[in-house]
Amino acid sequence: MASSATGPRRIGRLQAILATTGFLLAFCAYSWLFVSAEVLPAGEEAAGSLTRFDLQLLLLTNPIETIAGWCAGDLDHFGMRYRLGVLLVASLVVGSACCLGQWLLSLARDHGGFSSLEQVVFATALGLGSFSLFTFAVGVAGGLQQRWLFWLAVLAPLAWGTLSAVRSWQQGSPREEREWRFRPRFSMGWLATPLVVFILLGATLPPWEFDVSEYHLQVPKEWFLQGRIDFVRHNVYGNMPMGAELHAVMGMALVPGSLSWWWGALVGKVILAVYALLTVLALIAAGRRFACAEAGVLAALAFITTPWVAYVSMAGLVEIVWGCYLTLAVYATLLWSGVQGLLGNGSTGPPGGTSVLRREGRAADVLLAGAMAGMASACKYPALLLVIVPLATWVLCSQRRVAWKPCGLFLAAACVFAGPWLVKNWLLAENPVYPLMGTVWAGRERDPQSDLRWRRAHSTGPISMVELQRAASGLVWKSRWQGPILMPFAFLAVWAAYRHRGIFPLLAFVAIYLTCWWLFSHRIERFWVPLLPLLAWLAGLGASFLQRATGRWLVRGVMLGAALWTLPWITSGLIGDTRILVSLEKLRQGAVLPLAGRTPRWSAFRYLQQNVKASQRVLLVGEARVFQARFPVLYSTCFDSCRLEELLADKSRAGRLAALRAAGVAYVLVHWGELERYRTPGNYGYSEFVTRPLIHDELVRQQALLRPVPIGMPARIIELFQVRVAD
């Protein structure tokens, strides 16, 4: 009997040894590829190409420099008062959104069976999406300067939530609800805390990323200052869905003062960064719901240790917002489909298994899935193809019969949040997906050259094995902001899927997303960043599967190593601006120069802020990063008609001077460096009207229309001209 009992035990030990050895060999091979990848091209922040290993050594050997960078190298710059104010207003909005979402969820009386953690996650996401929709409605009606509307929208849900909490406390919670409450059982989850805290503090900084200064915050600034959401003829990006950016508009309305647009934009950035925390909680909840509690914690760690999350969240980009709603849409669709255990051990209730069972095919679940998908599409056009279409197909075909009614409910809920943006563009831009599909709908004020530049820049790249290999290697290990454990553990989920078929829906969705990204987009890396939460979900399942064979200490050791690897990347200047302890008031006043403070653009802006009068405007040519400008500007992106060309083309000197005066232009700033970059082969292109002979020979020497203004910067890069007053 003893020998027969030890037989299976020996086989189990052999399997564990083989699994451990195989994983370690594969992980070491991947780690070698990962650390040896060159992530800094020559000329970018370094004299030559550097590998991840080189950078990690530099970061680890200079921790004092990293910490000093938080205060910009001087403790006299320290200041937290204004930063705490920004965090307070953002917390007020997020707390109110949670209360609003709880109220909306309570309207679905058959929507039982949510744990406390699931309620918080779905309610907050639903509430923030509703606030965005509210801001859109107020903006279209021209009421963005009616601050009382936004304060009422924020305070009313808080009052309802407070009264509900008091009533629940007085009545006491049912036993089932008490068992549903989230209890953090695994200390590993706390490894995410310093990363999340640093991300939230980094989000309070003024914008430094190109796209954020060009349109993610610039367009909300313009809408708020003019008091309404309208067509933006000089910034093509401002006519695309901007549901995530409207959180900044709400922040601007809640903050008093003449500079509320600046402080409110920081509030909006923090709210966007909150979606990273919301995604972490969603992954923990997904693990508890569909596998086990530790699978959720492992997924959350795989997600937060991916530097893409910190980069996008701290910069003020919206891909994590889109990814959060995508994850929650898939989550709710799985609930509607009746999926119980992705690893074969899930339950239809909480981990304790004592709560009310969920029924398959609840209408509230499919409505919630549609709402989340619609909110993703309100952030970016691609979500129409990458989120709504595949999930609607899933709902339609996942049952044994064609589910027309659930699919209709899904699409109806999605239209509530995504539809208003399409209707707005149909009415204002004469193209529901402006500026896309320009060959189908001409759209408003799209000249052929601008549209050609847009279509050329956003066209799908060549389809070849070389391009496929390049894209795959970028996704798996070469991407600059890829994490050290996300892809290895996600591949383990593919292996686990052969034994646990419940993983196949997630794998199928990831495959569909990546296929669409490859075939129908222009393949920039940020477009697969929204997929990171689902990849992390798979990574958590793969790590949990491995843990059963090898024991938890191997997996925990790898997770700890990943957190320690990622922390220097996120907290150093490598990720972007990390002056998290510098006074925001000093940053606003320019007392402590931003990362770009030594560039010609910032030098010109400082001069203009001191010399431009309130009644004057500055015409910027080639430069569209204008959010920080505290003076009136005229500008255009490279995909719009050049404002200088519109004012001066085919006119005499008198006509040109009259046009400049009518537009209120007192200065003209020409950024030759940006024009040269746009015009390099393979780049976006720019209007050929603007040339050095036009500016120097014709406008300065022959017509004496412009007068050069010395700003101490190289004329080959940037030049400032003043419009002559006398004829």
Which helix (H) or strand (E) is 543 found in, with range?
helix 532-550
Across the chain, what does the average pLDDT equal? Answer: 87
pLDDT at 7: 46
- Residues 399, 402, 408: CA angle, nearest 5 degrees: 100
Structure tokens at 529: 């960043």
Per the structure block, which two tokens stand in for 82? 């204004």
The whole-angstrom separation of Cα 537 and Cα 303 is 8
Q: In this structure, what is the dihedral angle of CA atoms 621, 627, 630, 634, given to the nearest 10 degrees?
A: 30
For residues 300 and 186, the answer to whether their CB atoms sit within 8 Å is no
Residue 706: its H or E element: strand 706-709
pLDDT digit string, tens, across residues 535-583 = 999 999 999 988 887 878 889 899 999 999 999 999 988 888 899 999 9
| CB contact at 8 A, 597 and 580 | no
First-residue to last-residue Cα distance in the chain: 110
Q: Which one is predicted more confidently, 10 or 191?
A: 191
pLDDT in tens, 150-170: 999 999 999 999 998 888 787
Angle between helices 52-61 and 552-571 (to 10 degrees): 70
User: What's the rounded mean pLDDT across residues 319-335?
Assistant: 96
Average pLDDT over residues 15-30: 84
Q: Which of 14-18, 186-190, 252-256, 572-576 has the lowest mean pLDDT?
A: 186-190
Q: Quote the pLDDT of residue 187.
A: 63
User: 177 vs 17, 338, 349, 587, CA distance in Å?
Assistant: 42, 21, 12, 47
Instruction: Please tell me which residue, 337 or 625, carries the higher pLDDT value.
Output: 625
| Span 210-241, pLDDT tens digits | 999 999 999 999 999 999 999 999 999 999 99
State the pLDDT confidence band at 109, using cuts at 50, 70 and 90: low
pLDDT for residue 356: 35
pLDDT on residue 173: 54
Q: Which amino acid is at 401?
A: R
Output 698-707 pairs: Cβ under 8 A, ≥24 positions apart: 699/648, 699/656, 703/653, 703/656, 705/653, 705/656, 705/657, 705/660, 706/668
Judged against a pLDDT cut of 50, whether residue 400 lies above it is answered with: yes
pLDDT at 40: 62
363 has a pLDDT exceeding 90: no
Sort strands 665-671 and 718-723 into parallel, antiparallel or unpaired. Answer: antiparallel
Is pLDDT of 94 > 80?
Answer: yes
Q: What is the pLDDT of residue 407?
A: 94
Please determine, for residue 243, whether its predicted confidence score (pLDDT) is greater than 60.
yes
Burial of 258 (0-12, 13-18, 19+ CB in 10 A): exposed
d(CA 522, CA 587): 36
Q: Confidence band (pLDDT; 50, 70, 90) for 344?
A: low
DSSP letter for 622, please: S
Query: Pick from 19, 24, 12: which is nearest to 547 by CA?
Result: 19
How confident is the model over 139-160, as a mean pLDDT? Answer: 96
**Rounded to two decimals, what is the model's pTM?**
0.92
> Mean pLDDT lowest for which of 239-248, 325-334, 494-503?
494-503
Which residues are within 8 A (CB) of 223 and not within 5 positions of it... i.e. 6 or more apart? 139, 144, 229, 230, 238, 249
pLDDT tens sequence across 420-477:
999 999 999 889 999 887 777 777 777 778 888 888 888 887 888 999 999 999 999 9
Residue 435, CB-side half-sphere exposure with 13 Å CA sphere: 25
Contact assessment for residue 547 and residue 45, using Cβ atoms and an 8 Å cutoff: no
Axis crossing angle, helix 552-571 with helix 293-304, rounded to the nearest 10: 30
- Residue 623 pLDDT exceeds 90: yes
Joined tokens for residue 240 = 């695309």
CA–CA distance, 503 with 290 (Å, rounded to integer):
10
How far, in Å, CA of 94 to CA of 117, rounded? 15
Residue of 639, 567, 575, 602 lying closest to 232 (CA atoms)? 639
Q: Left (φ > 0), alpha (ψ -120 to 50) or beta: where does 712 sit? A: left
pLDDT at 41 over 60: no
Quick one: pLDDT at residue 409?
A: 94
Which residues make beta-bridge pairs with 671? 718
Q: Kindly report which listed range (196-205, 291-300, 307-316, 398-407) carries the lowest average pLDDT score.
A: 398-407
Tokens of 510: 């990831």
Q: Is the pLDDT of residue 5 over 60?
A: no
Is residue 434 exposed (0-12), middle (13-18) or buried (19+ Cβ within 10 Å)?
Answer: buried
pLDDT digits (tens, 9 = 90+) for 50-68: 889 988 998 888 888 889 8
Does residue 351 surpass a pLDDT of 60? no
- Decide if pLDDT at 701 tops 50: yes
Model confidence over 69-87: pLDDT tens digits? 899 888 888 999 999 999 9
What's the CA gap between 28 and 56, in Å, rounded?
Answer: 17
What is residue 576's predicted lDDT score, i.e. its pLDDT?
A: 85
Both tokens of residue 407?
A: 């699919």
What is the average per-residue pLDDT within 15-24? 80
- Residues 6+ positions from 550 with CB-CB distance below 8 Å: 16, 19, 20, 23
Query: pLDDT > 90: what percent of the chain?
Result: 61
Nearest partner of 569 among 58, 45, 28, judged by Cα: 58
DSSP E strand boundaries for 512-634: 617-621, 633-634
On whether the CB atoms of residues 707 and 657 are closer than 8 A, the answer is no
pLDDT, residue 269, reads 98
Cβ partners under 8 Å of residue 313, min gap 6 = 199, 202, 203, 272, 273, 275, 276, 320
Inter-helix orientation angle 260-290/218-226, to 10°: 120
Query: For the range 672-680, what are the long-range contacts, defined as Cβ-Cβ under 8 Å and sequence gap of 24 or more?
Result: 672/622, 672/716, 672/717, 672/718, 672/719, 673/600, 673/622, 673/717, 673/718, 674/622, 674/623, 675/621, 675/622, 678/622, 678/638
Q: Over 394-441, what HEC string results?
A: HHHHCCCCCCHHHHHHHHHHHHHHHHHHHHHHHHHCCCCCCCCCCCCC
Mean pLDDT of 162-185: 63
Q: 523 to each of 345, 439, 460, 471, 507, how far by Cα in Å?
A: 37, 21, 7, 8, 20
